[in-house]
């Protein structure tokens, strides 16, 4: 073999090796899709862990006007901070024993930002302990530790997408409401004094009871006002694959914290499951939740938020309102076990 021929063979071999290394390097740098990042970040295991902590006996049922509401608020604040967010506390009434709303914002990117705001919400309060019985604590695992865990998962997922091609393009607010069980006290206070203009809100994604029922099935109720949110969710669900039961319960539209927004013509949706045998009972415990279902719902919310932030948006016309001299009573009766009328102080519960 001549020296020249040997040199040619060596060069060809080195060229082939270099091409193989370059191909392997390119493959290793493949950017994951948004849903891949989201599914890696929002897991059933993490969600179950957080529901277990928030629905523990140590949280005392998280009645909205009690030391346990404050304990829950501090727990949620710590987890929002661990996700890289800075929550702020907002009083929802004048009683010092009432826990606050918590609001944490994820700003729009400095480049390519779009107008408007998106809200991801869940209420963290539940019910007073019973006065009798072996088990006295209303743990509220499904209602609504599951929704709060979902909110935290969405926050982590959107933070994981920040700075990448998948980041949300508008500001996203994460709101943990207090006082839902007492007649949406927290969400009514938010809508009365909103930190952002209501007419500039693209959509509200409210998770309330997302971990029971049939596997991979979730109810979405938004009505005509929330039609745009439903459209975004249906598109996003092509990558998540949940069974969506859409607008089958119009009576639910004002039953949770999306209600005050819908009443102000702000597009909003409720994610929920059918009432079950443990609804508002001490038996609503973490052992009965479907953590994979709740994780899938949170994954759907995260992806829909990203997609909605990229949709064309023109702020609605700002309303002109005459504020009433006094706040009217809630138009929806508080659910079983909640306070109504004159709110009784902590410890005077008559629920059995």
Q: What percent of the chain has pLDDT over 90?
A: 80
pLDDT score of 334 more than 80: no
80-119 confidence digits (pLDDT tens): 999 999 999 999 999 999 999 999 999 999 899 999 999 9
Give the pLDDT score at 107. 96
Average the pLDDT over 274-286 and give the result: 96
Lowest mean pLDDT among 12-26, 34-48, 167-181, 258-272: 12-26
pLDDT value for 13: 54
Q: Where are the domains of the chain?
A: 46-309
Give the chain's mean pLDDT.
88
**What is the DSSP secondary-structure string of 187-249?**
HHHHHHS-SS-GGGEEEEEEE-S-S-SSTTEEEEE-TTTTHHHHHHHHHHHTTT--EEEES--
Q: What is the pLDDT of residue 325?
A: 38
The single residue listed with the structure tokens 């029971």 is: 212
pLDDT at 49: 98
CB 144 within 8 A of CB 120: no
Look up the pTM and report it.
Answer: 0.85
Under the banding of pLDDT at 50, 70 and 90, the label for residue 345 is very low
46-309 has which fold? Aminopeptidase (3.40.630)
Mean pLDDT calculated for residue range 24-32 = 63
Half-sphere exposure of 252 (CA within 13 A, CB side): 22
Q: How confident is the model at residue 327 (pLDDT cuts 50, 70, 90)?
A: very low
Predicted pLDDT of residue 15: 55
In terms of phi and psi (left: phi > 0; alpha: psi -120 to 50; beta: otherwise), the region of 347 is left
Q: What is the number of other CB atoms lying within 10 angstroms of the CB of residue 54?
A: 27
């Amino acid at each position: 073999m001549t020296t020249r021929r040997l040199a040619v063979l060596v060069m060809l071999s080195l060229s082939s090796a270099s091409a193989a290394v370059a191909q392997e390097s390119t493959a290793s740098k493949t950017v994951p899709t948004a849903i891949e990042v989201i599914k890696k970040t929002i897991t059933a295991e993490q969600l179950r862990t957080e529901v277990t902590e928030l629905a523990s006996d140590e949280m005392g049922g998280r009645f909205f006007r009690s030391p346990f509401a404050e304990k829950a608020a501090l727990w949620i604040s710590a987890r929002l901070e661990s996700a890289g967010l800075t929550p702020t506390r907002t009083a929802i009434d004048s009683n010092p024993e009432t826990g606050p709303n918590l609001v944490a914002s994820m700003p729009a990117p400095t480049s390519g930002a779009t107008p408007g705001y998106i809200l991801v919400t869940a209420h963290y309060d539940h019910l007073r302990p019973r006065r009798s019985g072996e088990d006295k604590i209303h743990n509220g695992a499904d209602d609504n530790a599951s929704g709060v865990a979902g909110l935290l998962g969405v926050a982590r997922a959107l933070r994981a997408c920040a700075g990448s091609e998948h980041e949300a393009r508008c500001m996203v607010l994460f709101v943990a409401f207090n006082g839902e069980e007492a007649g949406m006290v927290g969400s009514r206070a938010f809508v009365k004094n909103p930190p952002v203009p209501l007419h500039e809100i693209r959509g509200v994604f409210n998770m309330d009871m997302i971990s029971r029922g049939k596997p991979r099935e979730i109810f979405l109720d938004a009505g005509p006002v929330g039609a745009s949110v439903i459209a975004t969710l249906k598109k996003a669900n092509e990558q998540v694959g949940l069974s969506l039961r859409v607008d089958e319960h119009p009576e639910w539209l004002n039953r949770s914290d999306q209600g005050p927004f819908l009443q102000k013509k702000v597009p909003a949706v409720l994610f929920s499951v059918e009432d079950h045998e443990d609804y508002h009972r001490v038996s609503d415990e973490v052992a009965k939740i479907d953590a994979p279902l709740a994780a899938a719902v949170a994954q759907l919310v995260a992806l829909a938020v990203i997609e909605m932030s990229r949709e064309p948006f023109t702020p609605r016309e700002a309303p002109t309102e005459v504020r009433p001299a006094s706040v009217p009573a809630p138009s929806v009766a508080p659910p079983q076990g909640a306070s109504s009328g004159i709110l009784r102080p902590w410890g005077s519960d008559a629920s059995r």
